[in-house]
Structure 1
């Protein structure tokens, strides 16, 4: 068993001293602006995965995003309605919101699971699959913007009904994702990421009861991402999900010292 002198997350036991975000998770899907403490992103209310720095950017991007957004929302809702053994009819919607609330944690876990700092080429071949189970529990988070109400200011949406738990995690081939429109969206992100110097798009698939949510994460070159390499990512993932926390902030050890966020 590996020994670590400090936890994988800056705020695993206590709140972080400060927040400093490096790219690897959230950039505006229209203009490429990175999310910062002063620029809080909103999520598309349809797919719950595309993020924007402003309502203006969302409006500009909507013509290009409309087809994948409506397709994703329709497919997830259809799968949710067909899922057996899950009484809550809002499973699909809650799964999307779970993925959105834990974007930072799931992206970090995928980066560690695929060992992208050591083998960047893995981003083109493999994906992280996270299987979930759920139990009744009230929970609420995340703001989002619904494009059907773009004339209305950003509104707050609550998640209520149940909480997800990690059942298992697996490394699967990228071919696990078969939906043509989703693959096209991943390729679009991959091209954009590589044009800006990144290594490509990390794919994380979150699924529960026959319903799945694909999370594409654009990743910078390993030299620009200073996260410590960890093999305890699965236990960290479980810790934050089970405790219902959505404030995960990875820790990095650099020549200038420890960086949080």
Structure 2
């Protein structure tokens, strides 16, 4: 089978410190183009991103509850003692950065893990759990490696935190109204800290990725190699598209 990524065997084309993950404005759905304009992260939760101050301001009434909740979790993680469960007081911040940096790769892996090309209904029943190992390192792209991956019931994520569940439901409703199949839920965990990554999946007519069984290998390859330049191969009516 051909590699799932166009650049699987090639070295990264950009310096690590300049690489960015795939970002979408949480208000209007605009896709970030870093060469033109870099999106801003919410200063409270360090998770939600916006294309403009106007979008951030208009989203605040609905974002306030989950933002304050996430910010409290971040603050609480910093106060935990270091040790096997909490190896670094900055672990929560590092985990959020990891999720943002590898957003495209993680979303692709979740899409493949749940077999959404063949069984779109899986998006409402299951979630992808990714367990990471932490490595104290100054270079951010080498702080984590893949330990294990699991397909878990979606309720495993939503039943533990009502505010997170409500935020996922909001995204789910928005996605379906725009013709999408729903919100893919990915849970990234390390050292007792968790990061939920919801991904709104396009309508079937726009889903061009082939089904892949080697998603675990690809995920491990890019994360463990310290690479954030994942470019998936998509098959369309016009042929093969990279990225």
Normalised by the length of structure 1, the TM-score is: 0.81
2:113/2:151 contact within 8 Å kept: yes
Aligned to 1:136, what secondary structure does the other structure show?
Answer: coil
What is the aligned partner in structure 1 of residue 19 from structure 2?
Answer: none
**Does the Cα contact within 8 Å between 1:77 and 1:93 map onto a contact in 2?**
no
Which blocks of at least 5 consecutive residues in structure 2 are unaligned?
A: 14-21
Match of 1:13 in 2: 9
Report SS of the residue matched to 2:76. Answer: helix
Partner of 2:150: 170
**Aligned pairs, how many?**
230
Partner of 1:56: 54
Structure 1: gaps (5+ residues): 18-24, 142-161
Moved more, 105-114 or 78-87: 78-87
The 1-side partners of 2:87 and 2:30 are apart by: 40
RMSD: 2.2
Which segments of structure 1 move beyond 6 Å, counting only runs of 4 or more? Answer: none
Distance between the aligned counterparts of 1:26 and 1:195, measured in 2? Answer: 21
**Shift of residue 246, structure 1, vs aligned partner:** 1.2
Q: How does 1:69-218 map to 2 (within 5 A)?
A: 69-79=67-77, 81-82=79-80, 84-85=83-84, 86-140=86-140, 163-177=143-157, 178-218=160-200
Mean Cα displacement is larger for which, 51-60 or 95-104? 51-60
Give the alignment's TM-score, normalised by structure 2: 0.87
Higher relative contact order (CA 8 A, sep 6+): 1
- Rounded to whole Å, the distance in 1 between the matches of 2:79 and 2:156 is 22
Check conservation: 1:16, 1:260, Cα contact below 8 A. Answer: no
